[in-house]
A and B are shown apart, each in its own frame.
Chain A
Amino acid sequence: MIEVDINLIREMLKSGKRLDNRKMDEYREIHIETGLIRQAEGSSRVRLGNTEVIAGVKMGLGKPYPDSPDEGVLSVAAELVQFASPEFESGPPGEQSIELARVVDRCIRESKMIDTEKLCVKEKEHVWMVYVDLEVLNDDGNLIDTACLAAVAALLTTKIPVIEYDGETPVVSLERKSGKLPIRGISVTTTFVKIGQTIVTDPGLTEIDAADARLSIGSLENKLCSMQKGGSYGFSVEEIEKLADLAIEKGDELRKHLEQVVID
């Protein structure tokens, strides 16, 4: 890894330039591949520039939560694999991986892109548990958007296993699959960082290191569904208002990539 001087990035931004010559609101190249893991009900591998995340969806039957007896359960976890960055340490999930998983979880959950009521098998007894596991393979900045794209791409291509009955007890078939998940729309997060007085979209690793503050905004079509501010400085109200609109515009670009996944 080449160490880039953070001051250099700040100086360049003042004259309107990013390290990799992108426009201020331009995403890096996006590659989405799906269906690569045989054992998973849904899977994807997403690259955003050199940032790379694999997502796998596993489904099983479980008991619903008492306050939502007729709804399936969504769970998102993230693993920062140590070869993805020299910064990643061993041990139990730290702040970064917990935040990553929870921000992706909230974007998917709050947008209601999955109709969890349709994932009820028998009220109060059996519902589908949808586990989304994210493996970060390479961290070159903006893990949140990459992981969210990966999670959503995997969910869009997930096939629900067939339920067989052993007497009264439902059993998940290991081989046979039925239909797709009940999907209502496509939600994505769009992440911005503020460096000095400049705001850039889809920050690369060095831009993340140079950033004063970060904002990730979830959206589904023309609505916002989640937000998370990061970084040790703040945003002004005007900046947040501007980013709320930009999130929809940039979100639509990301959605186009995901729509392609559904068609394929």
Chain B
Amino acid sequence: MEDIKLIKSGIRLDGRKLDETRPIEAKVGILKRANGSAYFRIGNTIAIAGVMGPRRVYPKHMEQADRAILRTDYRMAPFSTTDRSRPGPNRRSTEISMVTRKAIEPVLFLEEFPKTSIDVFIEIIQADASTRCAGINAAALALADAGIPMRDLVSSCSAGIVENHVVLDVAGKEDMEGELDLPIAFYPKKKQITLLQMDGIVPPEQFKKILHLAIKGCEKIYEEQKKALRARYQIELAE
């Protein structure tokens, strides 16, 4: 392992520059039964999100008189990883479901739909780092597709440190060998950070650089998300 260099003269193993994301593909309205849905791929990480609701709340005691409740369920398909991952919730997925909810909640007008639930289901069907970011990107698109009133989309991307370089969108071998990972979610219109997690050691000054690079990644993803929504809209016009 030590012999492989992940970064050579500013170019990464997969040919990317340090501040470049993997190729992105986003599609909206891919599922028939869900009220809204989306597909989001970044490199080899693929997330599918479906939204059900606003609908009646079960169990009923969770109902809120003045607003909709937002529920998010992040799941990894057992075949999405090299070693089969056991189906069913675990501590990691419970935490990610929660931080995903908190990342999306700020942009939703939940008060418009009292006594209902808006349920977002996220399936990671192929995993190669940054799955929570891909899930959030897909979820934001699926909510927009469902016609839920939103203040803005939410865009999510990670940045980190690999072999002492600050890099955008850590993936593949970098994820295993990288020194630090900082996934964030960004609410572009208000320039608010709605998800922030970090693993790895870093001086505060370098942290700030990584944060700014991650925001740059989110801004790029935001453009791709908007493109996907527009593409969907244009197809409907043509019909």
Instruction: Give A residues with C-beta under 8 Å from B.
Output: 93, 95, 98-99, 101-102, 106, 110-112, 215, 220, 222-237, 240-241, 244-245, 247-248
Contact = CB atoms under 8 A, between A and B. Distances in A.
Nearest to A112: B201
Interface string B120-141: 0000000000000000000000
B98 A99 contact: yes
Contact of B202 (A98, A99, A223, A235): A223
A229 B196 contact: yes
Given A95-B95, A98-B91, A223 B201 contact: yes
Interface stretch (B11-19, B50-58, B186-194): B186-194
Nearest to B97: A95
Contacts of B196: 215, 227-229, 235, 240
Given A224-B202, A234-B190, A248-B204, A229 B195 contact: yes
Contacts of B215: 237
B193 A226 contact: no
Tell me the dominant secondary structure on chain A's binding face: mixed
A124 to B, nearest CB: 17
B102 interface: yes
A241 B94 CA distance: 28
Contacts of B208: 241, 244
Interface residues of B, number: 32
A240 B211 contact: yes
A224 B201 CA distance: 6
A141 to B, nearest CB: 18
4 tightest A-B contacts by CB? A234-B192, A227-B198, A229-B196, A234-B194
Contact of A229 (B94, B99, B187): B99
Interface in B85-143: 91-92, 94-95, 97-99, 102, 105-106
